[in-house]
Structure 1
Amino acid sequence: MKLYFLSLLLLLTLFNCKNDGNNAADNYAYFGGEIINPNSDYVVLSKSDVVIDSIKLDAKNRFLYKVNDLDAGLYTFYHGGEIQMVLLEPKDSIIFRLNTLEFDESLVFTGEGDKKNNYLINEFLENEIQEKKVFKFCQLKPHVYQNRIDSLKAFKLEKLNAFKTKYPTSELFNRIAKANIDFSYYSSKEVYPFVHFDENKEAILKSLPNNFYNYRSSIDYNDAFFKDHYHYSSFLRYTINNLALKDHLKHSTDNEVFKRSSLCYNMDKLKITDSLVKDGVVKNDLLQYFTINYLSKNKDVENNDVILNAFLSKSTDQKNNTLVKHYVASLNNLKEGASFPSVKLVDYNNNEVEINSLITTPTVVCFWSNTFYNHFKESHYKLNELKTKYPEVKFIVINIDNYGIEKPKHALKENRFKFKDEYQFKTPEASIEALAIQPMTKTIVVDKHQKIVYNNTNIFSINFEEQLLGAINRK
């Protein structure tokens, strides 16, 4: 592998040396890599939701692609359900290597342009670790909390300045790296009222220093440049959550503790999005995110059409609108008491079976994907525990991927999980839509008469076993 990359980098370096002129012909970049444990045989490269190309891996799971007429900036590469970004500028020759079992953690760049991208991916991973610290800090008093996150921001700026001193950087890189730090810091401010243990959110908002959200006046909520950027997108979501909270508390008549799952609060989020964000792409993505997020957790099916109509009145993206309408239709078909939908499965001996033919006792139906590998392992450990504890219950476990039978079969075998009651969908896309599988932790409990008892629970939930006993005791 090392010889391959050394040879490749040498060729790219020699090629670049012959084209040192500063002209349109130099407006290109090479992008390539090697993927260990690939989930599919291709990588999709895109920019701003526009697919540039679907690049096939060779027999050794490698690829090399030349981007002509380069629009310098952040590009997205997608493989088997995982997404990451790469910064491409003229005459870059960037090669990466990663293992899909630890997609982000294993990602390493080499070649011309590697330093800036390794900095960005390391910053991304460090930020994930720091987010856990920030959540703990959220239990502190507001002024103490602000001091802590101010210190985190200062440390990040120091690190960035040290990098810029050591390596030459472009204005584009500087802008992106600084935005990463800023938007991460702003997000820490926006999550504070929600993560703080005090359930009286109104009291928390009143306790904040007057200048706590001063930065909001300088924010561009329609930034086309950063609209695909992770930190910017997260910041917008957190901000709208927070602004909607303030509005919600003004008019809410609920005497109960604030609930993030309430229909009223989620309607407020759609209203804030519609009034605050004017850029069509940014607004439509946020509207879809908030709507799907509510629907995936909503227990009251009667509210599905209410939130759907509010979404459709504001969204102008017809593709998003169709997707959400189909999602709601599927959820409505999965009402508690309804018959479980007819879905065809395939076992690991390639035998086809209709799912309802398997349901003759109280049954738990749950799902997994190679993309969410940690969930795959943890859920199977939990299922093994539940199977021992409740032998009268059938557990049907379905891999939702569309990679063929060998990949999930290998994952099960490698982790010593039995094939019994393990299946794949015969038609993954149609079945995922029919069962409205979002999030991946979704679990459906069915009684012996093939009637849905719980349409959206979770095997890790503290009251899951209580729900299971309810299904067992049904007549």
Structure 2
Amino acid sequence: MKTSIYLTVIVLLLFSCKNDKNNTGDSAYLGGEIINPTNPFVVILKSDYVLDTVALDNHNRFLYEIKGLQSGFYTFKHGSEIQMVFLEPNDSIMFRLNTLDFDESLVYTGDGAKKNNYFIDEFLQNETEEKKIFQLCQLDPKEFEKQITLIKEAKNKRLKTFINKNHTSHLFGNIAQANINYNYYSSKEIYPLINYQYEKRDILSLLPNDYYNYRKDIDYNQEAYKDYLSYNSFLRTNFNNLTLEKHLGHSQDKYFNGNSICYNLDRLKIIDSLVSNPSIKNDLLYYFTMTFLTKNKIIENNGALTNLFLSTSTDSKNNEIITNLSKAINNLKPGGQLPDIKIVDFENSEITFSSLINKPTAIYFWSHDFYQHFKESHYKVSELKKKYPEVNFIAVNIDIDNLNSWSNTLKKNRFSLTNEYHFKTPEESMHTLAIYPMTKVILIDKDNIIVNSNSNMFASNFEEQLLGIINK
């Protein structure tokens, strides 16, 4: 009831602001309530530029006026969760969301809400369709194209009905249509990559001659779309596919390997040749380089990709991150010793990793920003402890936060505080251990020697790796 009264008062306030004679129509309001917040604020951005950091009140609510509004998408961020909101002059958007079920719980109200609820529904529908698209990719090319065209036509029909009913702006219509088109293009691009019925060379030869006709109209430097998920997803898939075509032209490998250094070098070169917009190019170079470095098992190949990245990227911050990550990964080679990083327990007593390792050990990490992973990893470890009592499982919270925050979260979820720690210097330690992605697990033998610095407890072969360090 209190929430309902609050929203009513705020909406009335927003309408009064809209009708004020001093309102020039170049501003909009964004506000809402966050259930189960992971920190006491939200961040409002336009592209990569932070407009403001807005504190939540005692009821976990906020209200913010965006002045000098540029129509288009804005981003609000809370913890690791990010969502975009479409704003035009005089919009007054309210939302209510639960961080434990972020996208599915997000609902907008107020002027401009229908446009944003349309985009949310479209986003969730695309997520649901992903599994269907993967299944359709196993069809022959003509049938696959027929099926995804039917999906596109249904979306076009829905958009047309929505526009006619709500009398939306040309900008909304253009963006909504672009979302449909780029999702359709992404489906076509991903087909050769995940079709497992044929070898890659064979599947490319079976595609109709006009299959990629849309490519001639693609702008790889579309500044207006650079923050849109559908455009970025298309670019990533498109460059994967373009690289596949080039790579197969000179590769002697019998089977395609997307993790090969040759394929990944080809991809960065193609991006450099086709993309001139600095922001779009730097984001793509960074994304693919970061992905390779964090998944690559042949550490000796990291240097070649890092050097090519640094010669093509012009973003100094990204360059520093990749340089440090590459060095950190190199220092975590199997056979080397784990860096003796300082950690603290829930009583704030300072210790080091080496003092804890006297038997095979698995070190995993968690953060409030990845709350679902925090719970799933701890449940998983509870199972593994029973099956492998010979292994010591150590959990480390990586948040730059106070002591009580992480220990209280463990207590709240009824997890034991045994073998739970927090970095003494989180930022420095995260760089040293190259903690990315969050699913990273470091496996150490009883002599404190690294066996695998980039394992994953949810991988199908993880228990096999545990047996390996037990029997080492």
SS of structure 2 residue aligned to 1:112: coil
**2:10 aligned to which of 8, 11, 15:** 8
Question: Who is 1:398 aligned against?
Answer: 396
Distance apart, 1:406 and its partner CA: 4.5
**1:336 aligned to which of 299, 321, 334:** 334
Question: Who is 2:150 aligned against?
Answer: 151
For residues 178-189 of structure 1, the aligned pairs below 5 Å read 178-189=177-188
Structure 2: distance between partners of 1:371 and 1:197: 36
Alpha carbons 1:193, 1:205 under 8 Å: kept: yes
Aligned-partner residue type, residue 104 of structure 1:
D
Aligned-partner residue type, residue 123 of structure 1:
E
Per-residue deviation, residues 147-204 of structure 1 (Å, max 9, x unmatched): 1111111111111112112212011111111111111111111111121123611111
Structure 2: distance between partners of 1:362 and 1:385: 17
SS of structure 2 residue aligned to 1:248: helix
Aligned-partner residue type, residue 34 of structure 1:
E
**2:380 aligned to which of 382, 391, 402:** 382
Structure 2: distance between partners of 1:28 and 1:252: 55
Quickly say closer, same or farther: Cα 1:327–1:199, change in 2 above 3 A. farther
Question: Who is 1:103 aligned against?
Answer: 102
SS of structure 2 residue aligned to 1:26: coil
Aligned-partner residue type, residue 433 of structure 2:
L
Question: Who is 1:51 aligned against?
Answer: 50
Question: Who is 1:416 aligned against?
Answer: 414
Aligned-partner residue type, residue 16 of structure 2:
L
Structure 2: distance between partners of 1:326 and 1:186: 36
Question: Who is 2:32 aligned against?
Answer: 33
Distance apart, 1:432 and its partner CA: 1.5
Structure 2: distance between partners of 1:407 and 1:150: 50
Question: Who is 1:253 aligned against?
Answer: 252
Distance apart, 1:62 and its partner CA: 1.1
Structure 2: distance between partners of 1:303 and 1:16: 58
Question: Who is 1:81 aligned against?
Answer: 80
SS of structure 2 residue aligned to 1:430: helix
Question: Who is 1:318 aligned against?
Answer: 316
Structure 1: distance between partners of 2:25 and 2:199: 59
Correspondence 1:42 to 2:76: no
Distance apart, 1:410 and its partner CA: 4.7
For residues 189-338 of structure 1, the aligned pairs below 5 Å read 189-198=188-197, 200-255=199-254, 257-338=255-336
Alpha carbons 1:291, 1:308 under 8 Å: kept: yes
Structure 2: distance between partners of 1:205 and 1:221: 23
Distance apart, 1:15 and its partner CA: 2.0
Greater shift after overlay, 303-312 or 374-383? Answer: 374-383
Give the count of matched residue pairs. 470
Aligned-partner residue type, residue 18 of structure 2:
N
Per-residue deviation, residues 289-346 of structure 1 (Å, max 9, x unmatched): 1100000101111111110001111111111111110111111111111111122223
Aligned-partner residue type, residue 4 of structure 1:
Y
Structure 1: distance between partners of 2:425 and 2:94: 35
Question: Who is 2:466 aligned against?
Answer: 468
Distance apart, 1:242 and its partner CA: 0.1
Structure 1: distance between partners of 2:392 and 2:127: 37
Aligned-partner residue type, residue 284 of structure 1:
N
Question: Who is 1:369 aligned against?
Answer: 367
Distance apart, 1:20 and its partner CA: 8.4
TM-score normalised by structure 1 residue count: 0.96
Alpha carbons 1:138, 1:192 under 8 Å: kept: yes
Quickly say closer, same or farther: Cα 1:403–1:123, change in 2 above 3 A. farther
**2:449 aligned to which of 448, 451, 471:** 451
Question: Who is 2:111 aligned against?
Answer: 112
Root-mean-square deviation (Å): 1.5
Structure 2: distance between partners of 1:115 and 1:425: 44
Distance apart, 1:431 and its partner CA: 1.6
SS of structure 2 residue aligned to 1:345: strand
Greater shift after overlay, 391-400 or 288-297? Answer: 391-400
SS of structure 1 residue aligned to 2:38: coil
Correspondence 1:69 to 2:71: no
Alpha carbons 1:39, 1:407 under 8 Å: kept: no
Distance apart, 1:450 and its partner CA: 1.1
Structure 2: distance between partners of 1:429 and 1:287: 24
Structure 1: distance between partners of 2:21 and 2:171: 22
Per-residue deviation, residues 118-161 of structure 1 (Å, max 9, x unmatched): 11111111111111111111111111111111111111111111
Question: Who is 1:129 aligned against?
Answer: 128
Distance apart, 1:407 and its partner CA: 4.6
Per-residue deviation, residues 437-475 of structure 1 (Å, max 9, x unmatched): 11121111001111101111111222222222221222x
Structure 1: distance between partners of 2:94 and 2:424: 36
Aligned-partner residue type, residue 352 of structure 1:
E
Distance apart, 1:264 and its partner CA: 0.4
Question: Who is 2:160 aligned against?
Answer: 161
Structure 2: distance between partners of 1:145 and 1:410: 51
Question: Who is 1:347 aligned against?
Answer: 345
Aligned-partner residue type, residue 231 of structure 2:
Y
Distance apart, 1:400 and its partner CA: 2.2
Distance apart, 1:411 and its partner CA: 4.2
SS of structure 2 residue aligned to 1:397: strand
Aligned-partner residue type, residue 111 of structure 1:
G
Greater shift after overlay, 35-44 or 239-248? Answer: 35-44
Structure 2: distance between partners of 1:88 and 1:360: 57
Structure 2: distance between partners of 1:196 and 1:261: 17
SS of structure 2 residue aligned to 1:55: strand
Correspondence 1:439 to 2:437: yes
Per-residue deviation, residues 46-72 of structure 1 (Å, max 9, x unmatched): 112111111111121111111111111
Quickly say closer, same or farther: Cα 1:413–1:145, change in 2 above 3 A. farther
SS of structure 2 residue aligned to 1:313: helix
Structure 2: distance between partners of 1:146 and 1:19: 54
Question: Who is 2:93 aligned against?
Answer: 94
Alpha carbons 1:57, 1:63 under 8 Å: kept: yes
Quickly say closer, same or farther: Cα 1:372–1:133, change in 2 above 3 A. farther
Q: Which runs of 5 or more residues in structure 2 are unaligned?
A: none
Distance apart, 1:11 and its partner CA: 1.2
Quickly say closer, same or farther: Cα 1:38–1:159, change in 2 above 3 A. same
Alpha carbons 1:400, 1:432 under 8 Å: kept: yes
